[in-house]
Amino acid sequence: MNIAFLTAHEGVEQIELTGPWQAVVDAGHTPRLVSVEPGRVQAFDHLDKADTFAVDQVVPDASVTDYAGLVLPGGVANPDFLRMDSEAVAFVRGFFEAGKPVAAICHAPWTLVEADVVRGRTLTSWPSLRTDIRNAGGTWVDEQVQICRSGPNTLITSRKPDDLTAFCAAFLKEFARQTAGAGAGG
């Protein structure tokens, strides 16, 4: 199955990209880096520049139908840039409209807030987003992983890099479960 990883051109927390990416590869699936600009994205280790990663596809050329699920890595700047890009926000919203699973960690739910898809859902995030999530109609909880099955799709969220092992296990299980239930491939 193909899994989209959506990032801005810079600011993604490297471990929140590489950890889930490797988990997808180890599970025998295909991760694809989708970004708002072609070329390479600049990852960060907190506030310090880290590695760069090649973009597989730009948002305007990406289709939700090509992917079984979406992973939104965090980093403070990454979701802030994404929520300012209307095509990226529409791409995220498209997964919810298509009933496909979405996984978001740390600050990534800022993009979900902008896409107006947290209303009526329970999720977790980095603690500083709790008010934003509540103001957007969501319920915020302080848990390692939160799985919310609301409507036709599943939202899997985690708080921080320390939660990556549980986050990856949860989203891979939910993506496989939902994909099998929908009879979708990818």
Q: Which of 9, 29, 46, 107 is catalytic?
A: 107
Residue 92 pLDDT exceeds 70: yes
User: What's the N-to-C CA distance of the chain in angstroms?
Assistant: 4
CA distances (Å), 53 to each of 66, 96, 140, 183, in order?
Answer: 21, 26, 32, 32
- Stretch 138-151: mean pLDDT: 95
Give Cα 34 to chain centroid, integer Å: 11
Residue 25, CB-side half-sphere exposure with 13 Å CA sphere? 9
CATH number, domain of 74, equals 3.40.50.880
For the beta carbon of residue 60, count every other beta carbon within 10 angstroms.
Answer: 9
The pLDDT value given to residue 182:
64
pLDDT given at position 179: 76
Average of per-residue pLDDT across 35-62: 97
Task: Name residues whose C-beta falls within 8 Å of residue 176's C-beta, 6 or more positions apart in sequence.
Answer: 1, 27
| Count of the separate structural domains present in the chain | 1
pTM, to two decimals: 0.95
Percent of the chain with pLDDT over 90: 91
Any residues with CB less than 8 A from the CB of 97 and at least 6 apart, and which? Answer: 64
* pLDDT at res. 97: 96
The tokens describing 155, both together, are 């939202």
- pLDDT for position 44: 97
Rounded mean pLDDT, 148-158: 91
> Is 39 in a helix, a strand, or coil?
coil
Residue 37 neighbours by CB distance under 10 Å: 15
Residue span of the structural domain in which 97 resides: 2-182
Left (φ > 0), alpha (ψ -120 to 50) or beta: where does 28 sit?
left
46 is an active site residue: no
pLDDT at residue 125 is higher than 80: yes
